[in-house]
Amino acid sequence: MFIDKVTISLTAGCGGDGCVSFRREKYVPYGGPNGGNGGKGGDIYFECDIHKTTLLDLSYTPKFRAENGQKGLSNNRFGKSGKDLVLKVPSGTLVLKNGEFYADLKSTNERILVVKGGRGGRGNASFKTARYTAPRISEKGEPGETAEVSLEIFLIAEVGFVGFPNSGKSTLLSRISAAKPKIANYPFTTLVPNLGVVNYKGKSFVVADIPGIIEGAHKGKGLGFEFLRHIRRTNILVYVIDVSTNDDDSSDPYVSYKILNNELRNYSKYLVEKHVIIVLNKIDLPSCQEHIKKFRERLKNKKILEVSAVTGKGVDKLIVEMMKMLERPLSFKFEEEVKETSIKRYIYKPDFQVNIENGVFIVTGSKIETLTKITKFNEDEALRRYQNIIKKMGLETKLEEMGAKSGDIVKICGFEFVFEK
Ligand SMILES: Nc1nc2c(ncn2[C@@H]2O[C@H](COP(=O)(O)OP(=O)(O)OP(=O)(O)O)[C@@H](O)[C@H]2O)c(=O)[nH]1
Ligand SMILES: [Mg+2]
């Protein structure tokens, strides 16, 4: 099954707790602290694997977690770090982290860190200084980072085939490449995009054939619109238009061309800025000459080719044209388009913020929250250290400024403290 869009939540591993312990041996008085640090929590990475074609296996699991770090132990033994988790994604996967553009993975083995594992808590051996020789203090492990991540495949191809259902896109792809897409004489034969590699005189390029587009696609009709994203990276769009005649007006190739163009424009203004080749297909069928003549008269300044995907007539010329056109640069590249449409916001985050709710002072902010999470409040010295750090951050002054009096309740990260001047 071809799944080209998933949203998953990721939680990196939590760091292991640090340990409080002292060396106790015969004949070694004042052995000193020897509590080891906790191990680091595992990270989560995405890695590009060009042999993968779908995000199906990620769609089964809505939540991924990396392993936690282990606790530090006595005798300066450090906890083992948690194992990293590497999730494989297909080439062309765009990663949005918490709704913002994060990465575009294209080449094989390209790997990015998405959420970082928590730091291991320090054991008491780490707190030893010349003046402070017997610390009874350690930290808890830091929680791992969490994120909501959306993955979307944007297939990597140089040329995209677009057209109405049944116009012969898949037939044409099977003609020019080794791809074997399903072909049949009914609309919507192609349900997911097909890729084919065209080799010609020592050069090669990739063509994407997507499901047919119909009028009203941009309002959700048919299947094609969802798949237009897969031709967003291409340099060339090839409009495949059926010129075999029917009596009704709907088979006028010029009308088809206009409808297609309108749908593409409604999808994205960038699509219609690509290089275009118009392919009038099925010229082996009788009485299409009249249509072709009229079409050419109405669209004079466009590249128009006549082919028969079934007999192969005109197909070589099409390949040569595509190759020639590929050498011309595009006015807009996919990369720029992505950057333009998803602007990264850098938000300044203060160390802490204070709000008053029902007389309680609520303190938030990632720095102070992390500090709170790694502090072991049952250790006297850890508590003292905590108080020192938040004083240096300026929390006490801020609380006083906001009118806090002795005995008021201050809430940090779910913990309640009583304010004292
Ligand atoms: N006579 C003739 N028939 C053709 C030609 N090209 C395609 N066909 C026929 O048209 C029908 C549709 O072809 P497909 O290649 O499946 O069309 P498609 O554009 O991929 O259609 P969807 O996947 O539904 O969008 C098939 O029966 C083909 O055999 C051609 O050049 N001449
Ligand atoms: Mg098809």
* CATH number for the domain harbouring residue 235: 3.40.50.300
Name the one residue in this structure whose structure tokens are 């042999």: 51
Q: Let me know if residue 247 belongs to a domain.
A: yes
pLDDT number for residue 26: 87
> Does residue 148 share a domain with residue 166?
no
- CA dist 101 and 111 (Å) reads 16
Nearest CA to ligand 1 atom 2: 282
> Does residue 383 share a domain with residue 239?
no
How far does residue 160's CA lie from ligand 2's centre (Å)?
A: 13
pLDDT band for 99, please (50, 70, 90 cuts): confident
pLDDT number for residue 272: 84
Is it the case that residue 335 has pLDDT exceeding 80?
A: no
Is it the case that residue 11 has pLDDT exceeding 90?
A: yes
Is it the case that residue 247 has pLDDT exceeding 70?
A: no
Decide if 13 contacts 65 (C-beta within 8 A).
Answer: yes
How far does residue 272's CA lie from ligand 1's centre (Å)?
A: 24
- CA dist 378 and 179 (Å) reads 66
> Does residue 39 share a domain with residue 104?
yes
For the record, the structure tokens of 315 come out as 């197909």
What does the pLDDT look like over 255-304, one tens digit per residue? Answer: 889 999 999 999 888 888 899 999 999 999 876 788 888 889 988 888 99
Please work out whether the CB of residue 189 comes within 6 Å of at least one atom of ligand 1: yes
Is it the case that residue 72 has pLDDT exceeding 90?
A: yes
Find the CATH number of the domain harbouring 104: 2.70.210.12
> Does residue 179 share a domain with residue 326?
yes
In 55-209, DSSP assigns E strands to 63-65, 85-89, 93-97, 100-105, 111-115, 146-153, 159-163, 194-200, 203-209
**Burial of 404: CB neighbours in 10 Å, binned 0-12, 13-18, 19+:** buried
Mean pLDDT of 136-155: 94
pLDDT band for 221, please (50, 70, 90 cuts): confident
Decide if 261 contacts 272 (C-beta within 8 A).
Answer: yes
> Does residue 179 share a domain with residue 266?
yes
- Name the nearest CA neighbour of 334 among 277, 268, 276, 278: 268
Please work out whether the CB of residue 314 comes within 6 Å of at least one atom of ligand 1: no
**Burial of 136: CB neighbours in 10 Å, binned 0-12, 13-18, 19+:** middle
pLDDT number for residue 188: 85
- CA dist 339 and 185 (Å) reads 41
> Does residue 329 share a domain with residue 191?
yes
> Does residue 7 share a domain with residue 149?
yes
| Helix, strand, coil percent content, the chain, rounded in steps of 5 | 25, 25, 50
Name the one residue in this structure whose structure tokens are 């709170």: 372
Q: Let me know if residue 22 belongs to a domain.
A: yes
Q: How many domains does the chain have?
A: 3
Domain final position from 283, 313, 341: 341
How far does residue 192's CA lie from ligand 2's centre (Å)?
A: 9
Residue 307 carries which DSSP code? -
> Does residue 135 share a domain with residue 1?
yes
- CA dist 257 and 264 (Å) reads 11
Q: Let me know if residue 28 belongs to a domain.
A: yes
Mean pLDDT of 136-160: 94
Q: Is 239 helix (H, G, I), strand (E, B) or coil?
A: strand
pLDDT band for 340, please (50, 70, 90 cuts): low
> Does residue 318 share a domain with residue 261?
yes
pLDDT band for 307, please (50, 70, 90 cuts): very high
How far does residue 186's CA lie from ligand 2's centre (Å)?
A: 9
Q: Let me know if residue 392 belongs to a domain.
A: yes
pLDDT number for residue 285: 86
Cα dihedral angle (172, 173, 175, 179), rounded to 10 degrees?
Answer: -150
Decide if 167 contacts 161 (C-beta within 8 A).
Answer: no
- CA dist 42 and 386 (Å) reads 26
Domain span at residue 207 reads 159-341
Domain final position from 275, 310, 341: 341
pLDDT band for 216, please (50, 70, 90 cuts): confident
pLDDT band for 347, please (50, 70, 90 cuts): low
Q: Let me know if residue 346 belongs to a domain.
A: no
pLDDT number for residue 345: 53
Q: Let me know if residue 226 belongs to a domain.
A: yes
Q: Let me know if residue 348 belongs to a domain.
A: no
Nearest CA to ligand 1 atom 9: 168
pLDDT number for residue 342: 60
pLDDT band for 366, please (50, 70, 90 cuts): confident
pLDDT number for residue 344: 54
Domain final position from 95, 125, 153: 153
pLDDT number for residue 245: 64
- The percent of residues in the chain predicted with pLDDT above 90, rounded, is 64
Find the CATH number of the domain harbouring 384: 3.30.300.350
> Does residue 95 share a domain with residue 47?
yes
> Does residue 321 share a domain with residue 412?
no
> Does residue 313 share a domain with residue 184?
yes
25 bridge partner residues: 28
For the record, the structure tokens of 223 come out as 């299947």
pLDDT number for residue 323: 95
Is it the case that residue 249 has pLDDT exceeding 90?
A: no
**Burial of 269: CB neighbours in 10 Å, binned 0-12, 13-18, 19+:** exposed
Please work out whether the CB of residue 211 comes within 6 Å of at least one atom of ligand 1: yes
Mean pLDDT of the chain: 90
How far does residue 300's CA lie from ligand 1's centre (Å)?
A: 26
- CA dist 229 and 154 (Å) reads 6
Ligand nearest to the CA of 181: 2
pLDDT number for residue 132: 87
